[in-house]
Chain A
Amino acid sequence: MSGDAKVARNDSQLPGSQQPASDLQADVKIRQPATRFRGATEEPVWIRYSLIFLTVSFLVFFLFLPLLSVFAEAFRKGVNAYLAAFNDRAALAAIKLTLITAAIAVPLNIVFGLAASWSIAKFEFWGKSFLLTLIDLPFAVSPVISGLIFVLLFGAQGLLGPWLTSQGIQIIFAVPGIVIATIFVTFPFVAREIIPLMHEQGTEEEQAAITLGANGWQTFWYVTLPNVRWALLYGVILCNARAMGEFGAVSVVSGHLRGKTNTLPLHVEILHNEFNFVAAFAVASLLALLGVVTLAAKIYVESRVRSTSTSEDLSSLDH
């Protein structure tokens, strides 16, 4: 029913048309039929509105209110109290450790993710689907179990524990353990984003590069990597968010040594357990902020990924 109204509008917008915009509006209104018929794929109004209401109220109760309360609680005793939470050696150490952990885990996972997706998407080999399943393992296993695995492996009573102790290397209840647990928990993010895209793109461009005389490294650097750059960035953003926010696995291996092996999420928990709510929420607000920034970056990168892939799809239709 709105179809012919639209046509009329398009016609009058042809070059040379002198009709003012207000007339167009009137035209549209006149052509609107008195009774509205429901389209085949349209739901009744009450269903649509109750679904929207349900979604919005869910978001309000489970997302906006908690987020607001984090900031409200953090600023309850004023800005000075909020800032004081960060002027504390333990808090600064936690921030530093979180940044260090992410700075090690994210680049390593970029390398791992690229290597894994390159081999899986571009090559045929025995056990490929098994490898693909293994990559998802950290998503399937509870983070606490992931942490426990490393305690069993590197802990004092663990498999490699005695040897590590004899060498004077401490992994569990120390920074290396936290980094290892974080890498484990976050390694699917990059690979998961790139594999489907690489798979879809196939290997023809690489073959073309090789016939043109490019070596393996040039092919990767100039052809393969640029083709997945937005998906890679997207994976990195998610990987980084998780690396900074991971609690379960890190909690098991950390040992909670204040100022030494506490990351931001662990520090929040300690403060909270000590009933130091302002400080707990102040630090938590930092993590919440990270989440917001991640979301914003994610939206931007997602739109880039989509715009590059759809322009490709659309133009391949015409010849």
Chain B
Amino acid sequence: MSIEVKHLSKTFGSFKALEDVSLRVNDGELVALLGPSGSGKTTLLRIIAGLETPDPNPESEILFHEAHVTASPVGKRGVGFVFQHYALFRHMSVYDNIAFGLRVRPRANRPSRESIRDRVNHLLKLIQLEGFGNRYPSQLSGGQRQRVALARAIAVEPQVLLLDEPFGALDAKVRKGLRDWLRRLHDEIHLTSVLVTHDQEEALEVADRVVVMNKAKIEQVGTPEEVFHQPASQFVMEFLGQVNIFRCRVKAGTASLGTLTFEYPNYQESSEKDAIVYMRPHDLEIKRRQRNEPGLMAKVSRLNPAGAFARVFLHADGVDEIQVELPQDQYRELALSPGDVVYVYPKNARVFVPDFVI
């Protein structure tokens, strides 16, 4: 079941939560809506679910499998919704929570008691909580509660699964485990899913495609690889992963930062213009000696070898702090200490000219 939204806007009072947003989620895909808080990602999800209505606009459309659902109420859209704080029915047992959606169906298409039991037991097995049916939500851990919430959402066999920061309230380790589990579950049941998150790691790891949102608009839609390696905007570049930001000048197809130069074929005019160069910490190399090509001379100011990569903080004339991530073996080989003078060679850099439209 594909999901398509067209020209959605939503304002709360004077706050613009969504501004003319269009998006297509393909059948069986897991898409992550990623962005800082207030970027409109949750609003978009809630509009898809039918928990919010978009601002009235004749061009606004919400389509499930090419069929209009713009006017249908939440209960009729066939969505499974998972809330950040689980929203389990606190006075009901785990079993009753999962069975709820089946039991409230009109008598005509309500499953029999036996088939409800079978389905709930099957789901309890799926979420690895067999034997927990009689427990109450308050007797479960956060991770267990969220799995129950997921089972409850998919018990009604929804056509799409919508998850609002599902792991946001959990600690890092549980979050990681549940994230992997969700991905495996998705590969098993192929339910078209939309996940809202502000955690880039989560989005890049779980999703087939990532929708990066900022200030009520979509900045970029792409595979995790695309949004990480070919960011379409400064915002995406800065939001995803660590990045060094340098101010520079661009002129006639070339941006220059001190002794370093970068090609920027999009700007061919002969007048100079301000630009920004972005370099990921892992895209920088450190050498003790200068090579033939021009490098940036810098002084080591701080070292942090803890972690999978060693981090080196450098200081150079005319730029702020430079952060470099080195593989541990390279780091040992260099044997740096604060105060050493080194040369920095970018393997990869991206230039953006603010307010410059190609």
Contacts and interface: CB of A to CB of B under 8 A. Distances in A.
Interface of A: 204-205, 207-215, 218, 222-223, 226-227, 229, 311-312, 315-316, 318-319
A208 B92 CA distance: 13
B75 A204 contact: no
Given A213-B105, A312-B90, A208 B142 contact: no
A222 to B, nearest CB: 7
B138 A204 contact: no
Q: Name the residue among A211, A215, A218, A315 with the largest chain B CB count within 10 angstroms.
A: A211
Contacts of B74: 210-211
Nearest to B170: A319
B100 A211 contact: no
Instruction: Name the 3 nearest CB pairs between A and B, nearest first.
Output: A319-B142, A212-B101, A204-B87
A153 B204 CA distance: 69
B49 interface: yes
A213 B89 contact: no
A32 B101 CA distance: 60
Interface in B97-120: 100-101, 104-105
**Dominant SS among interface residues on chain A:** helix
Nearest to A216: B75
Interface string B29-58: 000000000000000000001110000000
B75 A319 contact: no
Contacts of A210: 51, 74-75
Given A207-B51, A227-B90, A319-B142, A214 B83 contact: no
Given A212-B152, A214-B75, A226-B91, A204 B83 contact: yes
A319 B143 contact: yes
12 contacts: A204-B85, A205-B88, A208-B87, A211-B80, A212-B75, A212-B101, A212-B153, A213-B104, A214-B75, A215-B75, A312-B138, A319-B142
B134 interface: no
Given A208-B87, A211-B81, A319-B174, A311 B75 contact: no
Nearest to B155: A212
Interface string B62-81: 00000000000011000111
A213 B75 contact: yes
B89 A223 contact: yes
B333 interface: no
Nearest to B76: A213
Given A218-B104, A318-B141, A319-B143, A211 B79 contact: yes
A194 to B, nearest CB: 15
Contacts of A204: 83, 85, 87
A218 B105 CA distance: 10
A264 to B, nearest CB: 37
Contacts of B50: 211
Contacts of A212: 75, 100-101, 104, 152-153, 156
A94 B51 CA distance: 53
A205 B105 contact: no
B171 interface: yes
Given A207-B51, A208-B87, A213-B75, A319 B141 contact: yes
Contacts of B90: 205, 227, 312
Contacts of A229: 91
A312 B86 CA distance: 13
A208 B89 contact: yes
A146 B75 CA distance: 45
Given A207-B81, A208-B87, 19 more contacts: A204-B85, A205-B88, A207-B51, A207-B87, A208-B149, A209-B100, A211-B51, A212-B100, A212-B104, A212-B153, A213-B104, A213-B156, A214-B100, A215-B75, A222-B104, A226-B92, A227-B91, A319-B142, A319-B171
Contacts of B51: 207, 210-211
A217 to B, nearest CB: 10
Contacts of B91: 226-227, 229
Contacts of B92: 226
A261 to B, nearest CB: 43
Nearest to A212: B101
Given A213-B105, A214-B100, A226-B91, A208 B75 contact: no
B142 to A, nearest CB: 4
A170 B25 CA distance: 68
Interface in B125-169: 138-143, 149, 152-153, 156, 169
Contacts of A211: 49-51, 74-75, 79-81, 153
A208 B151 CA distance: 13
B339 to A, nearest CB: 44
A214 B139 CA distance: 25
A209 B156 CA distance: 12
A214 B170 CA distance: 28
Contacts of B141: 318-319
